Amino acid sequence: MTTRAGRTVRRQFGRMLAIGLTVVTVSSLTGTTPASAAPGSRPAGPALGSNVTVFDPSMPVAEIQAKLDAAHARQVDAEMGTNRYAFLFKPGTYGTAEKPLQFKVGYYTEISGLGASPADVVINGKIEVYNRCLLDGGTSNCLALVNFWRTLSNLSLNINGAGQDGCRSGANFWAVSQAVSLRRLNVTGGTFSLMDYCTAGPQYASGGFIADSALPATVNGSQQQWLTRNSKVDSWSNAVWNQVFAGVQGAPDDAAFPDPPYTTLATTPISREKPYLFVDPKGNYAVRVPSAHRNTSGTSWANGLTPGRTVPLKDFFVAKPSDPEWLINMQLLLGKNLLLTPGVYDIAQSLQVRWPNQVVLGIGHATLTAVNGATPLKVADVPGAIIAGVTIDAGLKESRNLLQVGTKKGLGFSNPANPTTLSDVYFRVGGPHIGKVDTALEINSDHVLIDHTWVWRGDHGVEGFTEGVNGDTQRWRTNTGRYGAVINGDDVTATGLFVEHFQRYNTVWNGERGTVVLYQNELPYDPPTQADWMNGSVEGWAGYKVGAKVKNHRLYGAGVYVFNQNNPSIHTENGFEVPDRPGVRLHHVMTVNLSAGTIDHVVNGVGEAADTTKIGVPVFVTDYPAP
C-alpha cells in the first residue's frame, strides 16, 4: 500500500499499538460502505454472489426442495470439486407437518438460518447426510469416512420423517467425518443420529463437532471420535474410541472410563461461539460476533441474544473469488472486516489481518489456495481477531505456512479476555491437487483459541497419483507437509483439534499453559520405509509432542491412530511424547491400530503396543503421569 491514506493508517496503527488504545472504527477511517453492498431494499439484501441462495418463508416448499435437491445431486460425490454453496434461510417457518422440507447436504455446502436466534428459523422436516456406497454400483461398502466439508447452523429443526421408509422415518441422520460442524441448533421431535444405520455396512464414520446446540436423544453409533461443546442433550448413546463433552448439560458420566470411552468436563475452560450472519427485523444484514467466556456450560442463546457485539454488514468488505489480493488487503488495512463469499480464491500475496477485533468470516466453505509458495493468511499480534469458516489449501510450490498467527518476535498485544479465535478453519495439503507446506498452522501469539480445526495432509485425492504402494510412495515424495500445527504462543486453548498424516510431528506444542479438549490424529499412511520414518535414532514421530521446556500443559481426550498401509512393518515408538513434569498432564489418551503398522507405546514408553493383534481395539492410558 503506497498511497497517502495507506501510510496514514499504518502510522496511526503504530501509534495505537504503542500506547495501547482501541482501534478506531471503520466508518471514521473511510466514511464509505463497500460497493458490493446491495442498495437498500429488504428483498434484495447484500450482493453475496451467485453461489449464495437466500430463501424466504413465502417461497413454496416445492421450489425450495427442488433447489436443495439439485445442489445435493451436484455435490454428493464432489469430494475434491471446486464448487462452493451457501443456502441461507430468512426468519420464518419452512415446511409443514403434511409437507415437510426434507433434504440432504453434500460437499462444500453450508445450510444456515439468518435469525438472531436459532428459534427465528424453523424447519419442519429433515436435514441429513447419508453414507456413500462406494462399490458395486453404489450398493455396498457404505460408509461416512470421507463425508467432509459441510456446515449446518443457526436454526431450529423439528424432525419430521413423513413419507420416508420405516428405517428413515424416526431419526435425522447426520453421518459425517472431519471438517463438519453443527452449531447453534435447536433440534426436537425425534432422534438425532450421527451414523447412517439404514444403508448396507460397514457404516463407519470418523468424527465431528457440535457446539452451542440443544439436541434430543442422540445416537453416536459408529462415530470414532466426537466433541460436543457448550450444549444440551436429552441423552447420548454409544461410543467407539473417543467421545468428549465440555460444558454439556446432560452429558454422560465418564467415571467408568474407558468402558465406555467418555471424557466429560463440566465446563469449557474458554469458549467463543462462531460469528454468524443474520437479518434484523428491518431487513438489514449484520454479523453477530460473540464474546469469549470462561468456565461455561449450556448454549449461549438459552436466555436471549448470544452475548457479544453486532457489526453491520457495511463494515465488511464482501469479497468474491475474482477480487485481487491487493483490493482485499487494502480493505483489511483500512479496517474493514472481511466476508468471503463461496468459491476458491487463489492467493499469491498474503491476506493480512492487522487490527484488533477484525473479523474474517467465510460462508459456503470459502477456500484460499496458496499460489507460488505464499502464506494465504497472516494474523498480526493483536487481540480479538477472528477467522471463521475458511478452508486453506496448500499449492504446488512449498509454502512456509498456510496460516500464521503472530510472529516469532510477537509484540505481546494479547488479551486473555479477548483471545484471537479460529473457528471452523480447515487446512488441506493435497487432495484436489498436489500440495506442499512446511507447517500448515503456526501460532506464535499468546491467548489464542482454536475452536474446531481439521489440519489434513491428504491421504487420498485426485492429484494424479495411482492407487496402492507406488502411488503412496509418490505421494510421500511429492505431496509434502512436515508439521501440521506448531503452537509457540502461551495460554493457547484448542477445543476440537484434528490433525492428520503429516510427515514429522503432527502437532508440536511449545507454549506454556496450553489446553486441548479433544485431539484426534492419524499418523501418515504412506512412509515408504522405516528409514523415511525416523526422528534421529527414534523410530517415528509421535502424533502429539509437547516441547521439552514446557512446564504446564493439559490434554483431555486424545487419540493417535496408525495405518501404515504403504509398509505395514513400520514402527512408531510413542503416540504421545511429553516432558515428565507434574504440571504436564494427559487425561484419557489412547492409541489404535487400524490394521497396518505399530505404535509401541501410548506415551513416553507407557502403555502396550497398538499392533495387529488388536486391530481396532484402543490401548488406553487413563492419566499420565499416573496419580
Q: Is 24 exposed, middle or buried (CB count within 10 Å of its CB: 0-12, 13-18, 19+)?
A: middle
Cβ of 407: how many Cβ atoms within 10 Å? 14
Burial 364-401 (b: 16+ CB within 10 A, else e): bbbbbbbbeebbbbbbbbbbbbbbbbbbbbbbeebbeb
Residues recorded for the chain? 627
Concerning whether 522 is annotated as a catalytic residue, the answer is yes
Whether 590 and 563 have beta carbons less than 8 Å apart is answered as no
Quick one: which of 177, 123, 182, 125 has its CA closest to 151? 182
Residue type, 540: G
Whether 487 and 514 have beta carbons less than 8 Å apart is answered as yes
Tell me which H or E stretch contains 475: helix 469-478
Output the nine-digit C-alpha cell for 227.
466433541
Quick one: which of 574, 584, 518 has its CA closest to 551? 584
Where do runs of H (alpha helix) occur along 31-175? Answer: 61-75, 166-169
Whether 369 and 347 have beta carbons less than 8 Å apart is answered as yes
Whether 385 and 419 have beta carbons less than 8 Å apart is answered as no
From CA 311, how far away is CA 361, in angstroms rounded? 12
Whether 539 and 263 have beta carbons less than 8 Å apart is answered as no
Cβ of 69: how many Cβ atoms within 10 Å? 13
Residue 63 DSSP code: H
Whether 406 and 379 have beta carbons less than 8 Å apart is answered as yes
From CA 265, how far away is CA 224, in angstroms rounded? 19
Within 13 Å and on the Cβ side, how many CA atoms surround 307?
9
From CA 212, how far away is CA 230, in angstroms rounded? 5
Catalytic residue among 398, 522, 539, 573: 522
Within 13 Å and on the Cβ side, how many CA atoms surround 388?
29
Q: How far apart are the first and last CA of the chain?
A: 57
Tell me which H or E stretch contains 497: strand 493-500
Plot region of 348 (φ>0 → left; ψ -120 to 50 → alpha; else → beta)? alpha
Residue ranges of E strands in 285-398: 285-290, 292-296, 308-312, 316-319, 337-340, 344-347, 351-353, 359-370, 377-379, 386-393
Quick one: which of 184, 187, 260, 256 has its CA closest to 220? 260
Relative to beta strand 337-340, strand 316-319 is: parallel
- Quickly tell me which residue has 523415511 as its cell: 532
Quick one: which of 343, 399, 384 has its CA closest to 367? 343
Catalytic residues, by residue number, are 522
